[in-house]
């Protein structure tokens, strides 16, 4: 029988009473799959759902050209296969074990019985399905939305436009790709002036006439610094024809067309701002230290993003010190500092530019390469021969992954499962995550085979799983 202590820590069953957990355990069975084994295949009839007890699986579908379109990876405590049980239709994706994987299998009849008797489980599954469908629809309609970043602030005096410019420049340098710096309000030419772009257009005329832009590229200019930007309306500040739905339409076109976009967003909480915040990969909220209350502004935006159903890990809070006079600054508490990712120190002239550039570069790196991983590799400290070989393995792993990942390093030792381990860690981007996870798991499998061990702890964004 499956132990209840594991199910109790699975989000799907977290709110169930002990009696129901025991009933589920009686009906469930544990299945083990070797590396590269298929658990489910796209198109086959579904007879069960699965919960991952250990290991990691890859979810993919046919890309139409005989290859795999990788959808995601799932690990400890996550579940799959429930959708086909709900629809009575064939599986929509294939699942393969990337390492030795242990699963809890719940048969179709038991699953349906659980749904009929446990509203908490039904609600949890509905939420999961909605999230997955939302991501699928978003991916189909806006395949590049995950590369959109926004800088906003409580007011125009926070320096958000200058920071957005430096963030975009830093991202362009990190990626060696074009980045578009974009202000949704094309009536305002502030961004164009910052970028020293002299052209002006009739973009609002087309928006008003057609309510969309058929060819956005004709309104794009490359600034002397190399950034792309949208050419604003000529004499736009006097043009009152631009409505919220025009701005929304333009924003959608921009986000669908360009691979990497930094949005210099409005400081007003409009529907357009809400849409940007909900769909951006990361939002930098920059506060001037001269505001009455930094704490109040952080809490206000936290309340706003919760109302907008935006996860807290998407928000990066920063403070811009616009004075060196403590009497003119808001008090920044220790609690504030916990939430602040960065502070821009007060500086003048060229020193200010250097300071902002440095901090924007660090934030660009952290934002772009937001996915963190760790492999906990045993040191075999009681076996000198094995210890020396393990050390060579981890050094070769560092060299191998440094070619494709960021900030690769070796730390430790730490203790996991009563074993001393060194940690091989690094960072990658969301759009490369699936590809890089496969390579990390492959390295783990080679390490396990070399040392004849049953499992290695793999950490993704601080969540650990045994593979």
Would you say how long the chain is, in residues? 467
Indicate whether this model's pTM tops 0.85: no
**Peptide bond just before 413 cis, omega within 30 deg:** yes
Q: Evaluate if residue 139 carries a pLDDT over 50.
A: no
What structural domains does the chain harbor? 4-141 (2.60.120.10), 145-368 (3.40.50.300), 371-466 (3.30.70)
Q: What whole-number distance in Å separates Cα of residue 345 and Cα of residue 324?
A: 9
Residue 106 bridge partners (DSSP): 49
Q: Which range in 70-84, 387-401, 429-443, 449-463 is most confidently predicted, on average pLDDT?
A: 387-401
Question: What secondary structure letter does DSSP report for 421?
Answer: E
Sheet architecture: strand order including 457-460: 406-416, 419-428, 371-378, 457-460, 463-466
> Which DSSP category does 345 fall into?
-
Chain-centroid distance, C-alpha 236: 35
Whole-angstrom Cα distance, residue 387 to residue 380?
5
Two tokens, residue 448:
């396990």
Question: Which residues pair with residue 463 across a beta bridge?
Answer: 460
| Alpha-carbon gap, residue 93 to 57, rounded angstroms | 12
What's the pLDDT band for 140 if we cut at 50, 70, 90? Answer: very low
Q: Please indicate whether residue 51 or residue 24 has the higher confidence score (pLDDT).
A: 51
Q: Which residue has the higher pLDDT, 312 or 141?
A: 312
Q: Is 202 helix (H, G, I), strand (E, B) or coil?
A: coil
- Residue 228, strand partner residues: 180, 222
Neighbouring C-beta atoms of residue 71, cutoff 10 Å: 19
| Contacts for 437 with CB less than 8 Å, ≥ 6 apart | 56, 58, 73, 98, 373, 460
How far apart CA 380 and CA 361 sit, in angstroms, is 39
pLDDT on residue 426: 95
The tens digit of pLDDT for each residue in 203-257 reads: 888 888 887 888 899 999 999 999 999 999 888 777 788 777 788 788 878 888 8
pLDDT, tens digit (0-9, with 9 covering 90-100), for 354-412: 888 899 999 999 999 998 999 999 999 989 999 999 999 999 999 999 999 999 999 98
The pLDDT, as a whole number, for residue 120 is 65
User: What is the C-alpha end-to-end distance of the chain, expressed in Å?
Assistant: 22
Which residues are paired to 419 by β-bridges? 416
Please tell me the predicted confidence (pLDDT) of residue 121: 67
- Work out the pLDDT band at 142, boundaries 50, 70, 90: very low
Contact 190, 161 (CB under 8 A): yes
């Amino acid at each position: 029988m499956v132990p209840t202590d594991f199910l109790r820590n699975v989000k799907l069953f977290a709110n169930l009473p002990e009696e129901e957990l025991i009933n589920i355990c009686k009906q469930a069975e544990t299945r083990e799959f070797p590396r590269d084994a298929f658990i489910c295949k796209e198109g086959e009839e579904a007879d069960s759902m699965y919960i991952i007890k250990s290991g990691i699986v890859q979810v993919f579908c046919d890309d139409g050209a005989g290859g795999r379109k990788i959808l995601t990876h799932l690990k400890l405590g996550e579940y799959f296969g429930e959708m086909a049980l709900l629809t009575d239709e064939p599986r929509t994706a294939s699942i393969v074990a990337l390492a030795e994987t242990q699963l809890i299998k719940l048969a179709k009849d038991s699953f349906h019985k659980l749904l009929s008797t446990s509203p908490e489980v039904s609600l949890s599954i509905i939420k999961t399905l909605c999230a997955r469908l939302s991501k699928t629809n978003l991916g189909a309609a806006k395949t590049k939305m995950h590369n959109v970043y926004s800088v906003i602030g409580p007011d125009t005096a926070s320096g958000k436009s200058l920071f957005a410019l430096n963030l975009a420049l830093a991202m362009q340098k990190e990626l060696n790709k074009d980045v578009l710096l974009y202000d949704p309000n094309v009536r305002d030419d502030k961004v164009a002036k910052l970028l020293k772009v002299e052209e002006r257009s009739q973009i609002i005329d087309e928006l008003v006439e057609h309510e969309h832009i058929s060819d956005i590229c004709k309104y794009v200019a490359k600034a002397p610094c190399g950034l792309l930007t949208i050419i604003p309306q000529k004499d736009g500040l006097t043009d009152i024809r631009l409505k919220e739905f025009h701005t929304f339409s333009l924003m959608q076109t921009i986000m669908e067309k360009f691979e990497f976009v930094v949005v210099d967003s409005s400081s007003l909480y409009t529907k357009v701002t809400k849409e940007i915040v909900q769909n951006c990969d990361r939002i930098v909220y920059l506060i001037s230290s001269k505001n009455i209350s930094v704490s109040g502004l952080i809490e206000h935006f936290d309340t706003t993003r919760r109302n907008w159903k935006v996860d807290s890990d998407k928000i990066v809070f920063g403070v811009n010190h616009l004075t060196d006079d403590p009497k003119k600054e808001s008090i920044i508490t220790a609690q504030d500092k916990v939430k602040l990712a960065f502070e821009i120190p007060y500086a003048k002239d060229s020193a200010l530019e250097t300071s902002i550039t440095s901090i924007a570069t660090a934030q660009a790196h952290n934002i772009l390469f937001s996915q963190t991983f760790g492999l906990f590799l045993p040191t075999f400290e009681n076996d000198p021969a094995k210890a020396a070989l393990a050390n060579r393995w981890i050094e070769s792993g560092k060299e191998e992954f440094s070619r494709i990942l960021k900030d690769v390093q070796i730390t430790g030792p730490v203790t996991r499962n009563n074993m001393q381990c060194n940690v091989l860690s690094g960072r990658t981007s969301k759009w490369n995550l699936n590809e890089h996870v496969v390579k990390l798991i492959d390295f783990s499998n080679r390490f396990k085979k070399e040392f004849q061990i049953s499992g290695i702890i793999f950490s993704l964004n601080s969540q650990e799983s045994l593979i």
